[in-house]
Amino acid sequence: KVERSPEVQAARMLLPVVAEEQKIMEAIFNNPCVVIWGTTGSGKTTQVPQFLYEAGFGDPKGPTPGMIGVTQPRRVAAVSMSKRVSDELGGLPDKVSYQIRYESSVSSQTAIKFMTDGILVREIANDFALLKYSVIIIDEAHERSTNTDILIGMVSRIVDLRGDMNKEDPKVTPLKLVIMSATLRVSDFLENTNLFRNGPPPLVQAEGRQFPVTVHFSRTTQRDYLEETFQKVSRGHKKLPPGGMLVFLTGQNEINALSKRLKESFVNTKASNSTSQKITISASDAPLETEDLDLGGDLARTHRDLNNHADGWSDEGEDEDEFAIEPVEGYTSMSSHIHVLPLYSQLQTKDQMLVFAPVPENARLIVLATNVAETSLTIPGIRYVFDTGRAKERRYDQMTGVQTFEIDWISKASASQRAGRAGRTGPGHCYRLYSSAIYERDFQEYAEPEILQMPVEGIVLQLKSMDLQHVINFPFPTPPDRHSLAKAEKLLTYLGALSPHGKITPIGRELSAYPLSPRFSKMLVIGHQHGCMPYTIALVSALAVQDLFIPENQLDLSAPIQDAGTIYTTADRLEDESRERRKREFHKANSVFSKNSVSSDAIKALTALCAYAYASDHDMFALNYFLSPKAVKEASTLRHQLSTIVQNNQPGVLPSKFQSRLPQPSPKQLKAVEQILAAAFIDQVAIRADLAPTAEETPRKPSRATDVPYLPLFETHQGKADDIVEIAVFIHPSSVLANFAPRELPHYLVYSHLQRSAPASVEGARKPRTR
Ligand code: ADP
Ligand code: MG
């Protein structure tokens, strides 16, 4: 029996989804698959699992004993929603659990399980009929994350399979599929006859009680949108009546910079310095925001100048008086404080949860968020939205395999989702930091599905391991193009995972057992040579979790440092002298990690992760050695996890007890680890251009390592390129090799990925760089 508190009960009653409970449950009882559409905040994620629970799903003694599985594209949402549902159900904490890549609270008591979509994809590999579940809810389907797309294809088939199994053996219960979406972009599923062979599933609508949101476009679109955001939010705070503000930015760096600046100008008494310094962060320096992939490869990033046409547009008549709102009597905003909270995926979970906590009295909540606040999370009390109109998105060149992370305009659908965040508690306002002309001309209707923006070798391997010979026949909601499927098959063949005829090999089956991209799995499968397995595992963990090292250009923004009893916080401006000292410490820390190899970034990452395991105070170690605390913690957890998986899959290659503190590897072992790495990146080798058979005299000898051209040995470009400038790649400035004298650079390089660099940093040329 569920006993909800009176407050929860009252809040539920206001949710549109609760008003439609009967309609929703009837549809689910009468159909194997159902699509639910309702605006963000209408109660889909928190309420539908509770309806199912109360109807007996997940009850071990009932007729539908399997768990209620709920997938989310984002980890933040999986964790926070399971907590919320558990709270709402009151007193049943064991019944609701979550599982994300690095954490799980699932037990034998679990009835409702929240998880990331990648987790369920992995589970299907081991339990093809998903027998542990009685119903699968695929949430946030409109986001079109790759794993969600794959799940819709797979689970729609499993529903048929469970139906057939039930006919043969009534003890096997049928499986229900519920797809939930915040937008009406569901036609890709509904009208796809390849997906739902018995006709489209019914669409149940829970129309949100959304208050009107007034949208204000800017008259012009500023190139420096961060500065513009600061100005506008500051003015807004002074002029606007009480109400929370939600500001959409593109990443962690922008959020931290804006947070610091807002606090400086409103918390400090000397508010005057607020206009003196400008915030400038190039997107190419920003850390990755998008969560790393459970399937697929590495990420890279760059910045594309999206403001080519931005300046100079103007829309007469708009934005005359930007905050033309009825004044509230007796209200003076200057007496109110600001309560600034960041929200992005790399933030620790407990800090993310702060946005749901009560706001201090007499303070205005200002949440600075990335896309995570667009549809997955609903923050209470938001009345004003400030939308920069930009997001950091993955771009992947299907032809060359070059990946980039670019700041680009969002879609019209996203802009409308963002605006909608202002209308949950009452009428709201959305301030767009771009003009309506830009919106009309440059914003696409919908964002492209992610599957078209990433390498698909992980997906191809997964499908092949399920004995799907012709991957092209899989019911993808939006199929990847043939070229990228072919490219993925080629790589899998190099790795020995597929036979020349495209059939999965025993090695391929081994690779598919690991929750990693096939390259990293390959390293684990061959990693036992010379007793290297513990090192190989640590190396894979360090590489699979991105951004272990805090880059030099983020020194000032990184966490506080301990210095002879004084703690400098990010809010303090570091004096020149301590800034210099910090730089020296940074270089010292980095050279410590290079002790095992002066020329390998991979070995440097391995060394850092192994050293971290020896620290008595992990967080302090991360701070002092310029490692990202969250990333290095995740890498450590992954290390532990992978050790368990390796132990199960390859009995005897590891000591029976996990050993986090490893002895110094021998020179022979270091060499072997490098060879293992090279085997996994066999198609990503480049030769120094002057040593290539086709080498031409170059007119000028490069003076810096980062200007020395290398040539990839495998085709990266379509067709042939005669011009060396067209096909050359260069060492990334963050690499340990960047400090080499040009003539001492190695003849060959193994690289993890190519990325296109920001035009500014290479004087106008756009050359791919290796990392
Ligand atoms: P949907 O999935 O349709 O977007 P949700 O089920 O996530 O909607 O949210 C329903 C309502 O519950 C929201 O309007 C929000 O205000 C409230 N809510 C959700 N999570 C929390 C939380 N952690 N704390 C307080 N309120 C919450
Ligand atoms: Mg939701």
Of the pLDDT bands very low, low, confident and very high (cuts 50, 70, 90), residue 705 is very high
Please give the number of the atom of ligand 1 that sits closest to the Cα of 375. 4
- For ligand 1, atom 13: residue with the closest CA: 41
What average pLDDT does the segment 409-432 reach? Answer: 92
pLDDT at residue 78 greater than cutoff 90 = yes
Q: Whose C-alpha lies nearest to ligand 1, atom 10?
A: 43
What pLDDT is attached to residue 298? 29
The most confident of the ranges 12-16, 381-385, 398-402, 626-630 is 381-385
Would you call 337 helix, strand, or coil by DSSP?
strand
- Asked if residues 215 and 430 have their Cβ atoms less than 8 Å apart, the reply is yes
What is the dihedral sign for C-alpha 498, 503, 509, 515? positive
The span from the CA of 115 to the CA of 74, in Å, is 9
Structure tokens at 259: 């947070």
- In angstroms, the CA 225 to CA 234 distance is 14
Higher pLDDT, 266 or 32: 32
Give the orientation angle of helix 225-239 with respect to helix 252-266, to 10 degrees: 40
Pick from 20-34, 412-426, 482-496, 720-734: least confident: 720-734
Q: What per-residue confidence (pLDDT) applies to 206?
A: 87
Whether 317 has a pLDDT exceeding 70, the answer reads no
Closest CA to 136 of 233, 18, 230, 52: 52
Q: What is the pLDDT of residue 769?
A: 66
Q: How close is the Cα of 82 to the center of ligand 1, in Å? A: 11
Neighbours of 60 (CB within 10 A): 10
pLDDT score at 349: 76
Ligand 2 centroid to residue 260 C-alpha, Å: 30
State whether the beta carbon of 40 lies less than 6 angstroms from ligand 1: yes
Pocket residue to mutate for ligand 1, from 13, 140, 378, most atoms within 8 A of Cβ: 378
Whether the pLDDT of residue 282 is over 50: the answer is no
Residue whose C-alpha is closest to residue 214's, from 121, 123, 324:
324
pLDDT at residue 564 tops 90 = no
Distance CA 175, CA 132 (A): 10
Residue 297: predicted pLDDT: 28
Query: What's the confidence (pLDDT) of residue 2?
Result: 83
**Ligand 2 mean position, distance from CA 4 (Å):** 20
Distance 41 CA to ligand 1 centre (A): 5
- 113 has a pLDDT exceeding 90: yes
How many other β-carbons are positioned within 10 Å of the β-carbon of residue 591? 13
Q: Report which secondary-structure segment, H or E, holds 748.
A: strand 748-750
- Entry field: residues in the chain: 771
DSSP 378-432: --TTEEEEEE--EEEEEEE-TTT--EEEEEEE--HHHHHHHHHGGGSSS-EEEEE
Q: Which pTM value belongs to this model?
A: 0.77
Residue 207: per-residue pLDDT: 76
| Dihedral-angle region of residue 67 (phi above 0 means left; psi in -120 to 50 means alpha; beta otherwise) | beta
In 10 A of CB 517, how many CB atoms?
24
421 lines ligand 1 (CB under 6 A): no
Q: For tokens 């020896």, what's the residue?
A: 614
Direct distance between the N- and C-terminal alpha carbons of the chain, in angstroms, rounded to an integer: 56
Mean pLDDT of 207-219: 85
Closest CA to 755 of 738, 739, 771: 771
Q: Predicted confidence band at 761 (pLDDT cuts at 50, 70, 90)? A: very low
Q: Helix (H, G, I), strand (E, B), or coil: what is residue 503?
A: coil
46 in contact with ligand 1, CB cutoff 6 A: yes
The pairs formed by 625-629 with CB atoms below 8 angstroms and a separation of 24 or more are 625/589, 625/592, 625/593, 626/549, 626/550, 626/555, 626/558, 626/585, 626/586, 626/589, 626/590, 627/548, 627/549, 627/550, 628/287, 628/346, 628/547, 628/548, 628/549, 628/550, 629/559
d(CA 174, CA 593): 54
Nearest CA to ligand 1 atom 25: 356
